[in-house]
Structure 1
Amino acid sequence: MSIWPVNFDNYKIERKAKSEENKNIDKDKNLEIEALKELNSLIGLNKVKQIINELYALEQVQIKRKNAGLATDPIVLHMVFKGNPGTGKTTVARILGKLLKGIGVLSKGHVVEVERADLVGEYIGHTAHRVQENVKKSLGGILFVDEAYSLARGGDKDFGKEAIDTLVKAMEDYKDEFILILAGYRDEMEYFLNTNPGLRSRFPIQIDFPDYTIDELLQIAELMVKNRQYILTDSAKRKIMKVLINDNTTREIGNARLVRNIIERAIRKHAVRIMNKKTITKDDLMIIDSIDIRED
């Protein structure tokens, strides 16, 4: 007499499916933990972190309430990110995608990054097609539209208006299947939201990304070199600080992007400097000094 279950094949299939399900749960949990770690390790952006952590907590509680048979309110997660370039808007969007995938709000968690040129076509109907294609690519994840205000710059006859209308329709057609994040300069995004009376209400979450302080920018520089396995001397740090203080555009057009440019130029200059040495030590390969920091 067989000791195996009557439907042994089905039993094996169920065991395999259960095993795969457990693997996916573990994978999502790891993704959630990784995303939270990335978010909280960001330099500055304390208010931004607070809002994202609130959204994370709210989604977690809604899931627990649903599992407990309690009433839940649908949460609209379409957002507007307002701030200067280099303030972390794209970085936070990518972390958010991972976080929401980790807790099951998004099925994929990927981020499709587009701007006006990716959405606005050259003739009637072309724009709608472009927008729809990018929306479909983003299903299960986030559609991140950078410099979104440029869609409203051309007036009523510009195809940018068609792009806005198609995005709004997609938010209804694919409700709960993707998150739309519109990003750009603070003042320009305010103007953009005012161009369409119903637009602002569709984005209940609006997050301001402040400019980094000089101290925060120096911390970012130190983190960048550390991640590349370089070391800044104290004199190099002082020179970077001097460059940041003297650069009047730091907050308006630079922020972290300006810091990245400074560090990447320093690494190139460092490479040229040490190649002229007869012998090169491990310290030589790692230490960036003030001579490697350009002031222009």
Structure 2
Amino acid sequence: MATTVKTPDTTVDLAKAFAESGIGEVLDQLERELVGLGPVKARIREIAALLLVDKLRRDLGLTSETPTLHMSFTGNPGTGKTTVALRMADILHRLGYIRSNHLISVTRDDLVGQYIGHTAPKTKEILKKAMGGVLFIDEAYYLYRPENERDYGQEAIEILLQVMENRREDLVVILAGYADRMERFFASNPGFRSRIAHHVEFPDYAPEELMAIAELMLARQNYRFSDDARDAFRRYIATRMQQPHFANARSIRNALDRARLRQAVRLFQSRDRLLTADDLMTIDAGEILASRVFSGGAGSRAAAERHP
């Protein structure tokens, strides 16, 4: 005989709930902050919709169990994983899943000790700081080093798994890193996979998106490319993407920092003349073409990230 579930005679205004939650503002902020990443933004909107509906169900007494909210963000460096994690913390907080929107970002070194008895206190201290918010573990696969019998990462993993299960109403953990390495990490640590509710894949940026990111980064600091510099930077992107250790938006930011330095040196060398605001704002082609990326050779390519 089929079981009939009695539901409250209540209506819910989903549009009103969405507006009152404020998560629309967070999603709009994410749209402004990050160029491209359409699949990521769509996935975050889906998760936000799921969480909002779940909150309404809880408010009506249709469910009482806290959902599993731990996540995995996979992709290459510089694809916006940390920024999206920050906005996810905002969404979770506004919907009442965590007490605060604070995010603690850590790596293996913050969690794993170097001698017996050192790891547990370190890991527990980080968890204490993150409690009530989001713990973001970058390159999480470095916690597990099976080739080293005396490695203490396994102790940190066991503590994390216990807290992810028993304190999931007060802490959300986001694991991040390269997709292939994260897959091997989950295969070696099934306890993590079983506790991850949402997997978000971050694609690499296309050249035109990287150019838009560069323009946006400059505009935020009141800089701009000259026409020739813009053309030179497009060439820079195309060349740099083919070289080792390319890190998407992170490499773009590093390149612009070096360009700004070269511009400052150029202006200082002509300090005998009066400068206009346009002079102070404009990056010329020479500031881009001076990059080692254009010099060729294995040594230059290896140094590209250190000296964009």
What's the TM-score bracket when you normalise by the shorter of the two chains? 0.7 to 0.9
Select the structure that is richer in helix.
1
1:292 aligns with 2:287: yes
Question: Contact 1:87–1:209 at 8 Å: present in 2 too?
Answer: yes
1:180 is displaced (CA, Å) by 0.6
1:145-192, Cα deviation, whole Å (9 max, x unpaired): 111111112445411111111100111231210111111111111111
Give distance in 2, aligned partners of 1:168 and 1:38.
Answer: 32
User: What amino acid sits opposite 2:197 in the alignment?
Assistant: P
The residue aligned with 2:29 is 38
Aligned to 1:173: 166
Choose which of 198, 208, 218 in structure 1 pairs with 2:201: 208
Within 5 Å, give how 1:134-213 maps onto structure 2.
134-155=126-147, 157-213=150-206
Task: Report the 3-state secondary structure (helix = DSSP H, G, I; strand = E; otherwise coil) of the residue aligned with 2:104.
Answer: strand
How big is the alpha-carbon RMSD for the aligned residues of Structure 1 and Structure 2?
Answer: 1.9
The residue number in structure 2 matching 1:58 is 50
Q: Which residue of 2 aligns with 1:3?
A: none
Q: Deviations over 1:79-120 (max 9, x none)?
A: 111111111111111111122212222211111111011111
Tell me, in whole angstroms, the C-alpha distance in 1 between the residues paired with 2:244 and 2:75: 10
Residue 75 of structure 1 and its aligned partner are, at CA, apart by: 2.2
**Cα distance change on mapping 1:162 and 1:249 into 2, 3 Å:** farther
Which AA in structure 1 matches 2:286? I
- Counterparts of 1:198 and 1:113, CA distance in 2: 21
Contact 1:212/1:251 (8 A) holds in 2:
no
Q: Distance in 1 between matches of 2:71 and 2:244?
A: 23
Query: Over residues 210-243 of structure 1, what are the superposed CA-to-partner deviations in whole Å (9 max), with x where a residue is unaligned?
Result: 1111111101000000100111122211111101
Describe how 1:33-112 pairs up with structure 2 within 5 A: 33-41=24-32, 42-71=34-63, 74-112=66-104
Give the corresponding residue for 1:128. 120
TM-score, normalising length: structure 2: 0.81
For these two proteins, the number of residue pairs brought into alignment is 268
2:129 corresponds to which letter in structure 1? K
Gaps (5+ residues) in structure 2? 1-19, 293-308
* TM-score w.r.t. length of structure 1: 0.85
Please list, as runs of the form range in 1=range in 2, the aligned pairs for 1:206-285 lying within 5 A after superposition.
206-249=199-242, 253-275=246-268, 276-277=270-271, 278-285=273-280
Structure 1, unaligned stretches of length 5 or more? 1-27
Q: Cα 1:29–1:250, aligned 2, differ >3 Å: closer, same or farther?
A: farther
3-state SS, counterpart of residue 199 of structure 1: helix
Please report how far the alpha carbon of residue 124 of structure 1 lies from its aligned counterpart in structure 2 after TM superposition.
2.6
Task: Provide the rounded CA distance (Å) in 1 between the counterparts of 2:257 and 2:66.
Answer: 45
The amino acid that maps onto 1:291 is: G
Instruction: Tell me the amino acid that sits aligned with residue 116 of structure 1.
Output: R
| Aligned amino acid, residue 63 of structure 1 | K
Shift of 1:206: 1.2
Distance 2:175 2:80 in 1: 14
Mean CA deviation greater in 184-193 or 122-131: 122-131
**What percent of counterpart residues are identical?**
43
Displacement after TM superposition at 1:131 (Å): 1.0
Shift of 1:251: 8.4
